[in-house]
A and B are shown apart, each in its own frame.
Chain A
């Protein structure tokens, strides 16, 4: 009688596919090659209007990147402080950070954009020229307003990412550091945060991609990003189908490349899963 198999392979059940399962890999390639292929095909064989549309978009791509990168930097700074504030023992700091997260997460990003740009803009416009902060607020260019709005919103989400990352570090690390004579601040900056980065960075990468996609919302503030450029083109030529096809494909190519970068970064950081 044959030996009865007693072990169960992890792959037998409803497990999450790894990168070694070809499926995930090829989906990414199909999407990327498909998108690039369609863009190339349309621009070469139907230059009117597709090539014209493609030529119209690049400065929009630049603006989208500007908004995204500046916003993520602002969001990271805000997020770090919010995350630290959320786990702070100081009641006032904790309350401020938590309230910020609650308020921002409860208001749609589009409404926040309108609020910071148009509603506060009206308030700023009536400020006196008495000091440089007022003057800056008064003459704030739309791009800066958009970045502040996006960064302010994503800072709250980022704060949660930071908090979760810090809390994921075993309590023993803190205890060890404290017993070695580190004070609370030193423990956080020399022991906990360097380790927490590993947990924090992958979700930050995902937030980055999400922010890039959400940056299309700033087109409502007359910031000339990819979507706004596309809408301007369509409003003149009435080529809605062709224009939005191109806009969607350009976004797709950008996010696909970024998601690849994020996932390879994730792999490099994944010490625990390394074989």
Chain B
């Protein structure tokens, strides 16, 4: 009897998985980057990125798995094939393009500067010689290195840098403006302590894209197609509105 139950169950599982034989794309996300990617108390990765990816999965007809991955080493994991793509607010840069392929851009960012409320810093020049923190390997960290050189401090997570800033150990934190605004304006713990006095104006606009392993055109095509579909259907604007309030 028991045997038959098992057999039937096994058959059901096999059949149903065959019926749902969709392509699965595994995305790596570093869920420490609010409001783009962050961990909810239900231990799910939520934010603008995951919402967009899930909408794309529906539009593009593939399954999606979001894998929480530490930022430091997220690119190494992609090269090793541990996941198919990275959805983690990755800025498209020339250096990165040499080692991975990028989808069409899905978001524009600038580098926002977060300081303590009482700080006098009003422009990039004011930061010279100050201690500036950023998350390791982000475009914010590259900007910090460009401005203050060796005084740039790299953190594993942007949240740790923000904590150090609020605790008075460093003078400023540079990160994507969406994240900077979230900490400086929305975050209940920091909104009254921190401010974002200015953003660094880049020479060329900086865009976020989904990264895939170099040469993986199949995944790239699926992602691009789904992204276009989500943009055309207006779903993109809805998600944007949900997380950023305006269009």
Contact = CB atoms under 8 A, between A and B. Distances in A.
Interface of A: 59, 118, 121-122, 124-125, 138-142, 220, 222, 224, 228, 231-232, 235-236, 238, 240
A107 B154 CA distance: 26
B136 A238 contact: no
Contact of B136 (A59, A121, A139, A232): A232
B169 A142 contact: yes
A121 B164 contact: yes
Given A118-B160, A222-B154, A240-B76, A231 B167 contact: no
B173 to A, nearest CB: 11
Given A231-B136, A231-B154, A235-B137, A222 B164 contact: yes
Contacts of B73: 240
Given A228-B154, A235-B154, A222 B160 contact: yes
B99 A139 contact: no
Given A222-B133, A222-B155, A224-B153, A236 B167 contact: no
Interface in B73-88: 73, 75-76, 79
Nearest to A59: B150
A222 B161 contact: yes
B194 to A, nearest CB: 13
Nearest to B74: A235
B169 A232 contact: no
Contacts of A140: 169
Given A232-B154, A236-B142, A124 B72 contact: no
Given A118-B163, A236-B142, A138 B168 contact: yes
A240 B77 CA distance: 11
Contacts of B168: 125, 138-139
Given A138-B168, A235-B141, 10 more contacts: A118-B163, A118-B164, A141-B169, A222-B160, A231-B72, A235-B72, A235-B136, A235-B154, A238-B75, A238-B79
Contacts of A122: 163, 166-167
Interface residues of B, number: 25
Across the A-B interface, give the 5 residue pairs with the lowest CB-CB distance, nearest first: A235-B137, A125-B167, A121-B167, A222-B153, A240-B76
Contacts of B124: none
Contacts of A224: 153-154
Contacts of A220: 156
A222 B169 CA distance: 11
Contacts of A236: 95, 137, 142
Contacts of A125: 166-168
B170 to A, nearest CB: 8
Nearest to A138: B168
A142 B156 CA distance: 15
Interface string B157-189: 000110110111100000000000000000000
A222 B133 CA distance: 9
Which of A118, A122, A224, A235 gathers most chain B CB within 10 Å? A235
Contact of B99 (A59, A138, A238): A238
Contacts of A222: 133, 153-155, 160-161, 164
A242 to B, nearest CB: 12
Contacts of A240: 73, 76
Contacts of B154: 222, 224, 228, 231-232, 235
A125 B167 CA distance: 5
A166 B61 CA distance: 72
B153 A238 contact: no
29 contacts: A59-B150, A118-B160, A118-B163, A121-B169, A122-B163, A125-B167, A125-B168, A138-B168, A139-B168, A139-B169, A140-B169, A142-B153, A142-B169, A220-B156, A222-B153, A222-B155, A222-B160, A222-B161, A222-B164, A224-B153, A224-B154, A231-B72, A231-B136, A232-B136, A235-B72, A235-B154, A238-B99, A240-B73, A240-B76
Which of A121, A124, A222, A236 gathers most chain B CB within 10 Å? A222
Contacts of B79: 238
Which of A121, A139, A238 gathers most chain B CB within 10 Å? A238
A236 B164 CA distance: 23
A232 B135 CA distance: 10
A124 B160 contact: no
B85 to A, nearest CB: 17
A129 to B, nearest CB: 11
Contacts of B76: 238, 240
Contacts of A235: 72, 136-137, 141, 154
A196 to B, nearest CB: 40
A101 B51 CA distance: 48
Contacts of A138: 168
Contacts of B99: 238
